[in-house]
Amino acid sequence: MKSTRSSRNVLLLLYCLCLPLRGQTNLLQNPGLEAPYVTVPDGHLATDWTNSANLGASLALAQETNQVHGGASCQRVVVSGENATNNALFYQSFHFQAGHVYSAAVWLRAASNLLLQFELRNADNYNQAGASHILTVDTNWTQVIIHGGWQSGSNAQFAINFLANGTNWVDDASVTDVTANHLMSPPVNPAVPVPTTLFGLHINKTTAANNWPPLQQGIIRLWDTGTRWNQIETNANVYTWTHFDACTNVIWTNNPNCKILYTLGQTPAWAALSTNTPDASDGTNGASSEPRDMNDWSNYLSTVATRYKGLIQYYEIWNETDYPGFYSGAISNMVTMAQVARRALTKVDPTIEVIGPNITLGGFGWLERFIQAGGPPPDILSFHDYPTTRPESCLAGLVGLRDMLSHYP
């Protein structure tokens, strides 16, 4: 998704898919949360539903028959002990078809303004969100609707993830297959060729002899190319440019029209807020940490942008920030990093376009928290999907991402 600062122009690549279509049948059991209720350790739970609380969080469950949204009853959920390091869930499992798009809806209210996350989670794939919305629920019944899905797996959860302590009510839930709604739009004008700028590559061994592909790709992304922050600025203001220069020279020599996308990060140990990052993807202490001093981050950005002014057009703020192996820091600090990055880069070259921070398609919740914390809108939104078979299987995840972003126009 690409935008200017004053408006956003969205480009959507629509694929012609050959997927079986289904009617809009509710896939949930007991969607109205009606009787009978079963006795569980946490109280009384509507039949066919499940609850979970971990690491000090707890739920008190009860059948509510007063002020319900519809029918004779709804589920009351009282949350306590909730904090940033535990979780409390109310959910139901359902079976989905890979590549299909689902619409999920639920009616919610709370005793006071309470924060929660409504999501569809892939139980077969690290609870990856296929659709998600984080919102504050008040004392009035409010219907929340989300859309999305996954490219692989078969078992999902319709889940309310409570993010604050207090009393909540849940009623009249549904999950329906709406794939047909996303297949009927006309494709991109077939008479106009798709520009080469929409086709890019990673070339991990950019400088290897005879390694340049004859594909006329429009963009190269520098990642896993020996050009990370901790590989070029080995100490404060001590830079090693040899390999970085070689990579850019290979691209420029082979195709001067090929754009370059440079992904910023990872943090050198000398600049890291925390060097205790044992799960860092490259095994380097501090690599997944935010910088201790934002002046070091700003200096790195300005130095790179100055050296490659006119050569590198796109700068991506970090790689897969929703994965702790790449970013283990606070979202609030990534907000500051994004703000600093735009100022530093565009001061050197106003034509630079800022991308990210990058997420995987499982990072909807992370990205939404980043937006809610004041994260500045990028010029280009960047995400990673990993199709197991064909690009068309990404449709459901793309719908989920666009649906989440629609709450922040």
Q: How confident is the model at residue 371 (pLDDT cuts 50, 70, 90)?
A: very high
pLDDT at 193: 82
**Using one digit for the tens of pLDDT, what is the confidence trace for 45-77?**
999 999 999 999 999 999 999 999 999 999 999
What is residue 387's predicted lDDT score, i.e. its pLDDT? 80
The confidence band for 20, taking pLDDT boundaries of 50, 70 and 90, is: very low
* Mean pLDDT for the stretch of residues 346-374: 95
Calpha distance 392→144 (Å, rounded): 28
HEC secondary structure over 182-232: HCCCCCCCCCCCCCHHHCEECCCCCCCCCCCCCCCCCEEEECCCCCCHHHH
Task: Dig out the tokens for 39 from the structure.
Answer: 């006795």
How many C-beta atoms surround the C-beta of residue 331 within 10 A? 20
Report the share of the chain in percent with pLDDT over 90. 76
Q: How many other CB atoms are found less than 10 A from the CB of residue 259?
A: 19
SS3 113: coil
142 beta partners: 108
Looking at residue 351, its pLDDT comes to 97
What the block records as the tokens of 169 is 């009510």
Q: Is the pLDDT at 12 greater than 90, yes or no?
A: no
- For residue 188, what pLDDT is reported? 65
Exposed/middle/buried for 256, CB within 10 Å: 0-12, 13-18, 19+?
A: exposed
**Other beta carbons less than 10 A from residue 358's beta carbon:** 26
pLDDT of 17 > 50? The answer is no
DSSP 256-270: TT-EEEEE--PPPGG
What integer best gives the mean pLDDT of the chain?
90
For residue 331, is pLDDT > 50?
A: yes
Q: How confident is the model at residue 282 (pLDDT cuts 50, 70, 90)?
A: confident
Angle subtended at Cα 165 by Cα 161 and Cα 167, rounded to the nearest 5 degrees: 85
C-alpha span between 354 and 380 (Å, rounded):
7
Query: Which domains, and CATH codes, for the chain?
Result: 2-15+194-378 (3.20.20.80), 37-182 (2.60.120.260)
pLDDT 10s digits, 172-222: 999 999 998 887 666 667 788 888 878 899 988 888 888 899 888 999 999
User: Alpha-carbon distance 134 to 85, whole Å?
Assistant: 17
Quick one: residue 310, left, alpha or beta (phi over 0 = left, psi -120 to 50 = alpha)? left
In the three-class reduction of DSSP (H, G, I as helix; E, B as strand; rest coil), residue 9 is classed as strand
CA distance 368 to 177: 24
> Which H helix or E strand runs over 300?
helix 294-307
pLDDT value at position 8? 34
Give the strands of the sheet with 353-355, arranged side by side: 200-201, 219-222, 259-263, 314-316, 353-355
The closest of 354, 319, 326 to 339, measured between CA atoms, is 354
Task: Report how far residue 396's alpha carbon sits from residue 401's, in angstroms, rounded to the nearest whole number.
Answer: 9
Helices (H), 79-220: none
Give the pLDDT confidence score for residue 240 in this predicted structure. Answer: 97
Strand ranges inside 276-341, DSSP E: 314-316
How far lies 203's CA from each of 13, 175, 210, 251, in Å? 24, 41, 12, 10
Residues 265-293 have a mean pLDDT of: 93
Work out the pLDDT band at 386, boundaries 50, 70, 90.
Answer: confident
Q: Answer whether 90's CB lies under 8 Å from 160's CB.
A: yes
Report d(CA 395, CA 370) in Å as an integer. Answer: 24
The token duo for 171 is: 């009623």
**What are the distances in angstroms from CA 309 to CA 178, 262, 294, 315?**
46, 12, 22, 11
Compute CA distances 105 → 147, 160, 177, whole Å: 9, 11, 12
Higher pLDDT, 284 or 314: 314
Q: Is the pTM of this model over 0.75?
A: yes
